[in-house]
Chain A
Amino acid sequence: MPSKDIEMNNHSNVTAKKPGKTFDWRNYIVYFAFAGVLIYFSLTLFDEGFLTSNNMLNIARQSAMITIMAVAMTFVISTGEIDLSVGSITALSALTAALALQAGMGLIGGLVVGLGTGLAVGLINGLLITKAAIPSFLVTLGMMGIVKGLAMWITNTAPVPIVDSTFNFMFGSGDLGPIPILLIWTIIAAIIGHVLLRKTAFGRQTLATGGNESAAKFSGIKTGKIKLLVFTGTGLAAGFAGILYAGRMHAGRFTFGEGDELSVIAAVILGGTALSGGVGTVIGTVIGSLMMGVINNGLIIMGLDVSQQQIVRGLIIILAVAFGRKTIKK
């Protein structure tokens, strides 16, 4: 029987040689998509000034907070978990930082209080998920509401102005020469995230935890500790994003970061990190986030109104993920 012969050959191939590595373009979908979107807007919106350095830097400014949070979210999603509370944390952190500045605690004081707020919420998330074994989706969904409520409560929904011009310059509004400070913070966050994920034992153990948790435990990895750390990480990153919002707007406001959790998660998934865990890339995440920034910017220049923008953005996310990498279920 000829079919049987072919089968036998297949088997001997499998065993005699390693399966050939093939280039899978799916793994790089976000880069193609990003290039495609850039080229499209450059051509169609050239006269409107899309390609000017001014507009490019604008995009960098607009996507900075999302990118920084998405870098940290890459770790959470790589472990197979999710954090929905980041948007609310930015609001609370912006407010606590602004209040600390108002109370005369100084620049360092404001920074510490803002970051500490994010870190504390992240830590509580992590403890509830690892010690109380509550699914991260539920913990952070609940925390999203709690933290938002706290942010509205502490100033009775009133904004808190920030008059410290050094703070505003360093954390949001300033430019170093032509380069916006926000871009510098973004680059620092991306480098730290990339090195942590690719070059440290912590990063490797994060991916292992998401790849197969029981095997990771068997290999001697404290998966609970890893999860605690990644949630503390998103809390901290969201706290920092809150400080940047505050510095950019010269105030703390409870409306900061509204809906950011979805943009952040979308950026991570667009970048090629698997929602099921085990596969993660910080560079992909950064590109994913920039791509969304470019799309937003392009659509605004095109003159689409907010409702149309939302529809187009949603479509692009679904398409990119649909064509993107096959996530393998555990």
Chain B
Amino acid sequence: MEQPILSMENISKSFNGITVLDSVNFSLNKGEVHALMGGNGAGKSTLMKTLTGVYEADSGEIHIDGKKVSIKNMQDARDNYISMIFQEFSLIPTLTVAENIFLTRESRSSLGFLNDKEGVEKTKGLLQELEVDIDPNDVVESLGVGYWQMTEIAKALSQEAKILIMDEPSSSLTKKETEVLFSFIDKLKRRGISIIYISHRMDEIFKICDRVTILRDGKNVVTEKIKDIGLDTVIQHIVGAEMDKAFEWKERSYSMDSTPVLEVKNLSSGTKVNDISFKIFPGEILGVAGLMGSGRSEMARSIFGIDSRDSGKVLVNGEERTIKNPIDAVKSGLALIPEDRRMQGLILEHSVKDNMILPILSKLKKGLFLDESKADELADQLVKKLNIKTDNIFKTTSLLSGGNQQKIVLAKWLASDPDVLILDEPTIGVDIGAKTEIIDIVRELADNGKAILVISSELPELLAISDRVIVMHEGEMVKELKRKEINTEEELQHAIQGY
């Protein structure tokens, strides 16, 4: 067998005594597309960061073309022909395609002035070779997202990259754009470019990859040719045998005969939400599963009136409600806890208390003024109830840990006592202890008769918390499953992948 262009041997890395990579091996052949897979926290991105010089491995060796190399920063990575393709972050939107590709490497005249003609010509040649129809003089921000990626790949190739790392490259693309990307990847392969392809989408992996390496808990699980491995095996390897105790499901009792607290009928919005209907009954937790970009968050946003609705009805406690903006939504008894809590859920410079009482300021008035003692009392209660670890309610929110911040977002909406609570990725970036606590809080809320919609990419969490699960795929609701009917995480994974 020919020598691999890249081989990573026994790579180990730990942060603060926690082992993230444990003697991981990875190799890549010339002209190969090699899938790197694993659940959240399996170590994929850490492994790639040791390859691009963001982190330095504690031990292990990296060989390029058989030669041992040391990669300490991004320049080292570039010198070794390694390039990471970011979604959109490494281009300057206001510059043209050619200007971006040759940024800091522009050709100069003898007087030191920029000679853009040469860059434009070179870019034209490069794009022609790659069969991409973009004008080098187009300003990047005027192009579609798919072209950003291709511009970035062209930039990498102009730097003579031989190894490309692509992290979920299709997540922001439409189906059609994804197809264009795939044929583009094919061309790259034929040119002898090697690609490390990170993705959660099984259909893509099976379509374009030659081999797959699966990591779990920072260890190698398997490396196999795609044609010699089945979907089931891949899913099994990713999930692993044991399910965490913390995510044990408890069957809850509630009645599906009464009026649903929330009913959504034929909801459509833009291209990502297409004819969605469901009901949530008092005391029920409905989970929403689906891949990134399947329209889960968009659905929540449109229910809540953030995105405009093309058609469809929202009924709260049997009554139709007009929800055109978040204020209408809150008035109708809805609460949305967004995915990006730092950006959308909290004012980080404000105190714990100020964040908590924000949605109910009008209820805390005494005459013209805010009833501070009542507010303090309420904030104290919530801190105790949710077991938020803070010195006091006056502490600045930014100083708290991620898990505690998320609990404050929860507290914020508990205070306003909504009928329907929509949680988008409620435990993202939260440590395992806080995760279980948040799951318990959500359960308790449901026990008090609230209707809860939980969107999550973490299947163990979704399975632990939901009474029913709906699966979304490309904007449509493709399945509805009772939690009782789902025996294993694999089954749900299958449903999500559309097999």
Q: Which residues of A line the B interface, CB within 8 A? A: 7-8, 11-12, 14-19, 21, 195, 198-201, 203-205, 207-208, 210-212, 214-216, 218-221, 274, 277-279, 328, 330
B176 touches A278 (CB 8 A): no
Which of B131-139, B164-172, B431-439 participates in binding chain A?
B131-139
With a 10 A CB-CB cut-off, give which of A7, A16, A198, A211 has the most chain B CB atoms. Answer: A211
Given contacts A211-B92, A219-B103, 12 further A-B contacts (CB under 8 A): A11-B174, A14-B177, A18-B133, A19-B138, A19-B142, A201-B106, A201-B114, A207-B92, A220-B75, A277-B94, A328-B93, A328-B94
Interface membership of chain B positions 323-356, coded 1 if the CB is closer than 8 angstroms to chain A and 0 otherwise: 0000000000000000000000000000000000
Cβ of B89 within 8 Å of any chain A Cβ, yes or no, is: yes
Tell me the nearest residue of chain A to B178, going by C-beta.
Answer: A15
Give Cα A200–Cα B99 distance, bound, in whole angstroms: 12
Given the known inter-chain contacts A19-B142, A21-B138, A218-B89, please indicate yes or no for A12 contacting B104, CB distance below 8 A.
no
Q: Which 4 A-B pairs have the closest CB atoms?
A: A278-B94, A211-B92, A211-B94, A199-B113
Subset of 24 A-B contacts with CB under 8 Å: A11-B175, A11-B176, A14-B176, A14-B177, A15-B146, A15-B180, A18-B147, A21-B135, A200-B113, A200-B114, A201-B104, A203-B114, A211-B92, A211-B93, A211-B94, A212-B92, A215-B92, A219-B90, A220-B75, A220-B104, A274-B94, A278-B92, A278-B94, A328-B141
Given the known inter-chain contacts A14-B176, A19-B142, please indicate yes or no for A204 contacting B103, CB distance below 8 A.
yes
B177-192 interface with A by 8 A CB criterion: 177, 179-180
A195 touches B92 (CB 8 A): no
Closest chain-A Cβ to B91's Cβ sits at a distance in Å of 6
Chain A residues in 8 Å Cβ range of B75? 220
Chain A residues in 8 Å Cβ range of B225? none
Chain A residues in 8 Å Cβ range of B239? none
Main secondary structure on chain A at its contact with chain B? helix
Give Cα A116–Cα B179 distance, bound, in whole angstroms: 60
Give Cα A52–Cα B141 distance, bound, in whole angstroms: 45
B144 touches A14 (CB 8 A): yes
Cβ of B459 within 8 Å of any chain A Cβ, yes or no, is: no
Interchain CB contact (< 8 A) of B94 among A17, A199, A200, A210: A210
Interchain CB contact (< 8 A) of A214 among B89, B103, B106: B89
Interchain CB contact (< 8 A) of B95 among A7, A14, A207: A207
Chain B residues in 8 Å Cβ range of A211? 92-95
Give Cα A234–Cα B56 distance, bound, in whole angstroms: 41
B94 touches A279 (CB 8 A): yes
Cβ of B271 within 8 Å of any chain A Cβ, yes or no, is: yes
Give Cα A14–Cα B145 distance, bound, in whole angstroms: 10
Q: Which residues of B line the A interface, CB within 8 A? A: 74-75, 89-95, 99, 103-104, 106, 108, 112-114, 133-135, 138, 141-144, 146-147, 174-177, 179-180, 271
With a 10 A CB-CB cut-off, give which of B93, B112, B138, B271 has the most chain A CB atoms. Answer: B93
Closest chain-A Cβ to B261's Cβ sits at a distance in Å of 32
Closest chain-A Cβ to B134's Cβ sits at a distance in Å of 5
Give Cα A198–Cα B95 distance, bound, in whole angstroms: 12
Chain A residues in 8 Å Cβ range of B74? 218
Chain A residues in 8 Å Cβ range of B144? 14-15, 19
Chain B residues in 8 Å Cβ range of A200? 112-114
Chain B residues in 8 Å Cβ range of A8? 176
A18 touches B134 (CB 8 A): yes
A207 touches B94 (CB 8 A): yes
Tell me the nearest residue of chain A to B146, going by C-beta.
Answer: A15
Closest chain-A Cβ to B346's Cβ sits at a distance in Å of 21
Closest chain-B Cβ to A11's Cβ sits at a distance in Å of 4
Closest chain-A Cβ to B487's Cβ sits at a distance in Å of 36
Tell me the nearest residue of chain A to B173, going by C-beta.
Answer: A15
A15 touches B92 (CB 8 A): no
Tell me the nearest residue of chain B to A12, going by C-beta.
Answer: B176
Closest chain-B Cβ to A217's Cβ sits at a distance in Å of 10
B99 touches A204 (CB 8 A): yes
Give Cα A14–Cα B104 distance, bound, in whole angstroms: 30
Closest chain-A Cβ to B122's Cβ sits at a distance in Å of 16
A15 touches B95 (CB 8 A): no
Closest chain-B Cβ to A233's Cβ sits at a distance in Å of 18
B104 touches A219 (CB 8 A): yes
Give Cα A18–Cα B144 distance, bound, in whole angstroms: 9
Chain B residues in 8 Å Cβ range of A274? 94
Chain B residues in 8 Å Cβ range of A18? 133-135, 138, 143, 147
Closest chain-A Cβ to B348's Cβ sits at a distance in Å of 18
Give Cα A166–Cα B93 distance, bound, in whole angstroms: 49
Give Cα A16–Cα B147 distance, bound, in whole angstroms: 11
Interchain CB contact (< 8 A) of A215 among B89, B114, B146: B89
Tell me the nearest residue of chain A to B180, going by C-beta.
Answer: A15
A212 touches B104 (CB 8 A): no
A221 touches B104 (CB 8 A): yes
Chain A residues in 8 Å Cβ range of B146? 14-15
Tell me the nearest residue of chain B to A196, going by C-beta.
Answer: B113
Closest chain-A Cβ to B62's Cβ sits at a distance in Å of 21
A19 touches B176 (CB 8 A): no
Give Cα A19–Cα B133 distance, bound, in whole angstroms: 10
With a 10 A CB-CB cut-off, give which of A21, A215, A216, A274 has the most chain B CB atoms. Answer: A215
Tell me the nearest residue of chain B to A199, going by C-beta.
Answer: B113
Give Cα A219–Cα B140 distance, bound, in whole angstroms: 16
